[in-house]
Amino acid sequence: MCKEIPINEIIDDISLIGKEKFDDDLDYLEQSIKNYGLLCPIIVREIEDGYQLVSGRRRLTACKRLGYETIPAIVKEVTFDEAIEIAFQENVQRISFSSIEEAEIIDKIRTEKKLNDEDLCEALGLSVNEVNLGMRLNDLPSNVKQAALEGKLTERQALSLTRINDKEIQLKVFNKLISNYYSTGETEDLVSKLLEENIKS
């Protein structure tokens, strides 16, 4: 059911997007809403103190900036876990996230909502392997993740580095492949060779 609801009654506490990604094209969206109105309602769920935003954070923010007092919203009867899954899937579908960014979102939800592995998989609609992969990527050193986000490191290279448990060796390999412009295949071969040598020793 879609209806106009007061903006000041909406609580936005399922925030899955980083500020930099969130601010992309917000001015354009604001101008579009100003010219043509809000064509796509936001999604909320009813809670004790009003409404909780499920989907449409950018649209809500743009309407706030335009001084709107009410906003068209679809009120869905969903649980908190279902709300998290909807928010996560919408962000993945509407915004081109890299695996590193998805991993950071998964970790953010896991930490803030204090979910165990089983509940996290159920909430996000992901498999155990997908969640574990996200956790491994998010556990990489910050400079390694930043290099992947900047395109200096491919996602397959980043995944290769997650196979190394020793953080010191992980960083040494990272510095070596960056300095020598290793290809993805060369990186995978190097990591495999290191792991084989560790097994033999």
Who's near 101: CB < 8 A, 6+ residues apart?
Answer: 18, 21, 149
Who's near 176: CB < 8 A, 6+ residues apart?
Answer: 182, 190
pLDDT above 60 (res 201): no
Per cent of the chain over pLDDT 70 is 87
Look over the chain and give the mean of its residue pLDDT values, rounded to a whole number.
Answer: 82
Task: Please state the rounded mean pLDDT for residues 111-123.
Answer: 80
Higher-scoring residue by pLDDT: 2, 98: 2
pLDDT above 80 (res 98): no
At residue 91, the pLDDT reads 63
pLDDT above 80 (res 187): yes
Cα 41 to Cα 1, 56, 59, 150, distances in angstroms: 11, 8, 8, 34
Residue 39 DSSP symbol: -
pLDDT above 80 (res 113): no
pLDDT above 80 (res 200): no
Where in the chain are all domains bearing CATH 3.90.1530.10? 2-96
Give CA torsion, residues 90, 91, 94, 95, to 10 deg: -170
- CA 201 – CA 199 distance, rounded (Å): 6
pLDDT, one tens digit per residue, over 147-172 is 888 888 888 899 899 999 888 889 99
Residue 20: pLDDT band with limits 50, 70, 90 = very low
- CA 149 – CA 139 distance, rounded (Å): 15
- CA 5 – CA 27 distance, rounded (Å): 23
pLDDT above 90 (res 5): yes
Nearest to 17 by CA among 81, 106, 126, 105: 105
Residue 13 DSSP symbol: -
Asked whether the beta carbons of 165 and 174 are under 8 A apart, the reply is: no
| Fold that domain 2-96 belongs to in CATH | 3.90.1530
pLDDT, one tens digit per residue, over 24-77 is 567 878 888 888 788 788 889 998 889 999 888 888 989 999 999 999 998 988
- CA 130 – CA 125 distance, rounded (Å): 10
At residue 19, the pLDDT reads 44
Higher-scoring residue by pLDDT: 114, 199: 114
Residue type present at position 148: A
At residue 118, the pLDDT reads 84
